[in-house]
Structure 1
Amino acid sequence: MDSVKILVVDDEPDILEFLEYNLNKEGYRVFTASNGEEGVMLAEKEKPDLIILDIMMPKMDGVEVCRNLRSKPMFDKTLIAFLTAREEDYSQIAALEVGGDDYITKPIRPRVFMSRVKALLRRSDRSEEQEVDGDSVQVGDLIIDREKVTVQKGEEVIELAKKEFELINLLISKPGKVFSREEIFNKVWGTDVIVGNRTIDVHIRKLREKIGDHYIKTIKGIGYKFEF
Structure 2
Amino acid sequence: CVSSQVGCALGCAFCATGRMGFQRNLATWEIVDQVVQIQRDSEYPVRGIVFMGMGEPMLNYDRVIRAARIFSEPCGMAINAKSITISTVGVVPGIRRFTAEGHPYRLIVSLTSADSSKREKLLPIEKTYPLPELMEAVREYHAAIRKRVTFAWTVMSGINTSRDDARQLAELTRGLPILLDLIDVNDPTGQFRRPDSEEANAFRDYLREELQMPVQRRYSGGQDIHGACGMLAGMIS
Shorter-chain TM range is: 0.3 to 0.5
Q: Return the structure number with greater relative CO, CA threshold 8 A, min gap 6.
A: 2
TM-score (norm 1): 0.34
- Quick check: which has more Rg, 1 or 2? 1
TM-score using structure 2 length: 0.33
More strand by share: 1
